[in-house]
Amino acid sequence: MASLLSTMTTVIGRLPERVKVEIYRMADAAPERGMSVIVDGVSHVFSIIAVHKPSGLYQSIETVRGATVKAGWIVLANGTQVGSLEPDSTSATPSAQTAPKLDISTLTAQDGDTTLTATPIDGETGSGF
């Protein structure tokens, strides 16, 4: 039996359509093993390693001039960041671009004249989703 950690609908990579993503953890598995993600009904099993802050996954959702701006970052142990930003994530045809650098000390990023405030995502509890 697996427990559902999170469900979201998002744009993944360069796919033009939104996809449903569900993240599960197997009941008797260690936190870093037995994870699975279901993307549009197709299950993918994976394992992860434990990380320590500031490494991790971060997300920001802000409303700017009526548009929902959604950004996410992966921060690696060496400080390298990978992130994407959807300037209008609720539009009929959302687009993604590279996210601005996340300031780990303040958990903020500057997108033009807008300050985005990030929230850490906890992969074990699902908090922050």
- Count how many domains the chain has: 2
The answer to whether 59 and 118 have CB atoms below 8 angstroms apart is yes
* Pair (24, 65) in one structural domain: no
Higher-pLDDT residue of 39, 16: 39
Q: Which domain holds residue 9?
A: 2-46
Tens-digit pLDDT profile for residues 29-68: 455 555 666 666 777 776 666 778 888 889 999 998 899 9
* Pair (68, 111) in one structural domain: yes
* Pair (82, 104) in one structural domain: yes
The per-residue pLDDT for 108 is: 97
Tens-digit pLDDT profile for residues 71-112: 999 998 888 999 999 999 888 888 889 999 999 999 999 998
* Residue 83 domain flag: yes
Distance (Å, whole) CA 117 – CA 114: 10
* Residue 129 domain flag: no
| 123 confidence band (pLDDT: 50, 70, 90) | low
